Amino acid sequence: GGVRTPQASSPRFGSSKRGNMVSCGAAKVAVLGAAGGIGQPLSMLVKMLPSVTELSLYDIQGTPGVAADLSHCNTACKVKGYVGDEELAACLEGCDLVIIPAGVPRKPGMTRDDLFNINAGIVKGLAEKCAEICPNAILNIISNPVNSTVPICNEVYKAAGVTGASRRILGVTTLDIVRSNTFLAEECGVDVDEVDVPVIGGHAGITILPLLSQMRPKVSLDPNRIEELTVRIQNAGTEVVEAKAGAGSATLSMAYAAARFAESCLRGLQGDKVYECAYLESNLVDGVGYFASKVQLGPNGCEEIFEVGEVTEFEQAGIDALVPELQKSIAKGEEFAKK
C-alpha cells in the first residue's frame, strides 16, 4: 500500500499506511522503555522511518545492548542508548517526538488498572523530565492504564507551567483500530487495506468503543454479530495476555501500531494533514475531560478533534456505559499526579 491521502471531507481515521519512504524531515525521536517487549521492536520500526535522523533509546536497563544492535542496521538514522536517571535529560534533548512504553505489562487475570500502582509513578517521573527538557515535543503514551497515564502527564505539564500541551500529549489507542480493521476485514471478507473502523472512548475494557456503524466500506452486519465483534475488540488485549500465559501482553502488534502512529505524528509535524484516533484531553463529551477521538494531526500535534458523529442505539449505550468508567480512571490519574 502506498500513501493514502484522505480527503478533508471524508477522512479515514484508522487506516493510514506506511509513508512513502521519502525522507522529508529530520526528526529526533526518543523511546522511553526501549529495552522492553514493545520498546525493542518499536525502536527497530522507528529506525526504519526515513524521516527520523536520530533515535534515542532510554531504559533503566539494557539500552546499551539494544542500541549497539540496532545501530548496525544500514538506515541513515543514528541510534544512541541511554541508561538510568542521570542520562535521561541527554536522551530527551532536542526531541520532536517521545514515545513512552515504559512500565509493567499485564499477566493473566489482571486488568489494565491493576498496573496503576507501578506504572503511574514511572510515567509521572518520565513526564516531569519531558516537561523540563523537551516541553514542545509530541508525547505518545503507550504505558497502561492509558486512561489514567494521559491525565497524569497533563497534570505534570500543567504543574511545570507548560501551557497548551494537551494537544501534544496523545494516548496511543492505535492498536484498537488495528485490531478492529483486521477482525472486520476477516469478518466481511474484504481487503484489509480498504477497511477503516474508528474507535473512540478510551483504552481499557468497555471504554474501547469501535464505531462499526461508521466502518468503511459500508457493510451490513447482523446486530448479534456487531455485539460479538465489539466484545472481541474490547477483549482482544486479553486474548494475547492469555495466549502468552504470564509472559506479558501484546508487544509485536503494539510495536506495529505505535510505529504507525508515530509515523503519522511525524508526517503531521512536517505539515501533512493526517487522520488517526487518539486519547487526549478535550471537552468533546459531557462529563469527561479526556476522550479517545477521531483527530487530525499536524505541526502542533492534534490540530482538530472531530465529533463522535452519528451512532446507533447500541453505540450510544456503549458511550453512556463508558463515561462513568472513564471518569473514575481520569480522577484517579489526576489525584495521583497532584500528590
Q: How far is the CB of 335 from ligand NAI (least distance, A)?
A: 20
In whole angstroms, give the CA distance from residue 326 to residue 337. 17
Pattern 206-245, ligand NAI, x by CB under 6 A: ----------------------------------------
Pattern 90-129, ligand NAI, x by CB under 6 A: -----------xxxxxx--------x---x--x--xx---
- Does residue 14 bind ligand NAI (CB under 6 A)? no
Which is closer to ligand NAI, CB of 101 or CB of 151?
101
H/E element holding 315? helix 313-338
In whole angstroms, give the CA distance from residue 198 to residue 194. 13
Three-state DSSP at 225 gives helix
Q: How far is the CB of 43 from ligand NAI (least distance, A)?
A: 11
**Of the listed pieces 30-38, 89-97, 221-229, 317-325, which binds ligand NAI according to CB under 6 A?**
30-38
Q: How far is the CB of 304 from ligand NAI (least distance, A)?
A: 22
Phi then psi for 150, rounded to 5 degrees? Answer: -65, -45
Closest to 149 measured CA to CA, from 167, 122, 131, 110 = 122
**Of the listed pieces 5-13, 31-39, 64-72, 317-325, which binds ligand NAI according to CB under 6 A?**
31-39
In whole angstroms, give the CA distance from residue 333 to residue 338. 9
- Does residue 180 bind ligand NAI (CB under 6 A)? no
**Of the listed pieces 43-51, 67-75, 143-151, 322-330, which binds ligand NAI according to CB under 6 A?**
143-151
The residue at minimum Cβ distance from ligand NAI is 36
Q: Check if the beta carbon of residue 155 is closer than 8 Å to that of residue 290.
A: no
Is the omega angle on the peptide bond into residue 41 within 30 degrees of 0, that is, cis?
Answer: no
Task: Figure out which of the listed residues 47, 51, 56, 59 binds ligand NAI, where binding follows CB under 6 A.
Answer: 59
Distances (CA, A) of 138 to 75, 212, 244: 23, 29, 32
Pattern 250-279, ligand NAI, x by CB under 6 A: xx--x-------------------------
**Helical residues (DSSP H) of the chain, grouped into ranges:** 39-47, 63-70, 88-92, 116-133, 146-159, 174-188, 223-234, 236-244, 252-269, 313-338
Q: Check if the beta carbon of residue 254 is closer than 8 Å to that of residue 41.
A: no
The separation between CA 278 and the C-alpha centre of its own chain, rounded to angstroms, equals: 6
Flag whether 35 is marked binding: yes
Task: Figure out which of the listed residues 11, 33, 268, 298 binds ligand NAI, where binding follows CB under 6 A.
Answer: 33
Flag whether 36 is marked binding: yes
- Does residue 143 bind ligand NAI (CB under 6 A)? yes
Flag whether 59 is marked binding: yes
H/E element holding 276? strand 274-281
Q: How far is the CB of 332 from ligand NAI (least distance, A)?
A: 15
Report the 10 Å Cβ neighbour count for 23.
16
Q: Check if the beta carbon of residue 120 is closer than 8 Å to that of residue 103.
A: no
Can you say which residues are annotated as belonging to the binding site for substrate? 106, 112, 144, 179
Can you say which residues are annotated as belonging to the binding site for NAD(+)? 33-39, 59, 119, 142-144, 254
Can you say which residues are annotated as belonging to the binding site? 33-39, 59, 106, 112, 119, 142-144, 179, 254
